[in-house]
Every structure is written in C-alpha cells, then in structure tokens.
Amino acid sequence: MKNTEPAGALPLPFSGKNYHKNESDCSQDEPCAICGKGIRSPTWYVRVVDGGGRFASEEEVVPEASDMGWHAIGNTCIGENPALRAIARLGLP
C-alpha cells in the first residue's frame, strides 16, 4: 500500500486498504504487517506496540503489556514506506 502520509510519517500497522481480506487469503504463516499479503520468506520485521496502534523502534521503552512483538513486513511495503527502514530490522531480534 502506497504511503500517502507526509514524508517521514509511518503508516499504521494492519492498515492497508485490503489488509483483512489479504490476511485471510494468504496461505503463508507471515502476513505483512501493513498490507496483509503473505510473505514466503520474511526479511524485514517491525515492532508493533500500543495494541497495534503504531510501530516503534527497537530501542523505545514501552510497557510489556503494550508490546505486540515483531511482525514481518513485505519488501514492497517497506519500499513504499521508506521511513520504516529507520525502525525495521533485518531478521528477528
């Protein structure tokens, strides 16, 4: 999903136009955290916090109850949302 936010703005997790449909249609274990499309071999991961309300950096301190862990993000979505590269990581921590 192309990010239409101002440059540097992060998209919201699980917010792609057809996220829920894509997620239910994907046969892979890892749906993209933005668009919901299946990722066969995840490379990039982003940390989701605040009950799925936003992405956070690895260094950010958040209450344990708020941290939803690391979720895969597809190459297309990270390419269309370059601000995510600042907080995403290659592989799981």
Q: In 1-93, at which residue ranges do the beta strands (DSSP E only) sit?
A: 30-31, 38-39, 44-49, 54-56, 69-73, 89-90
Mean of per-residue pLDDT scores for the chain: 88
Q: What is the pTM of this model?
A: 0.84
Q: pLDDT tens digits for 36-70?
A: 999 988 999 999 999 999 999 989 999 999 999 99
Write down the pLDDT at residue 8: 64
Kindly give the pairing relationship between strand 30-31 and strand 38-39.
antiparallel
- % pLDDT > 90, the chain: 72
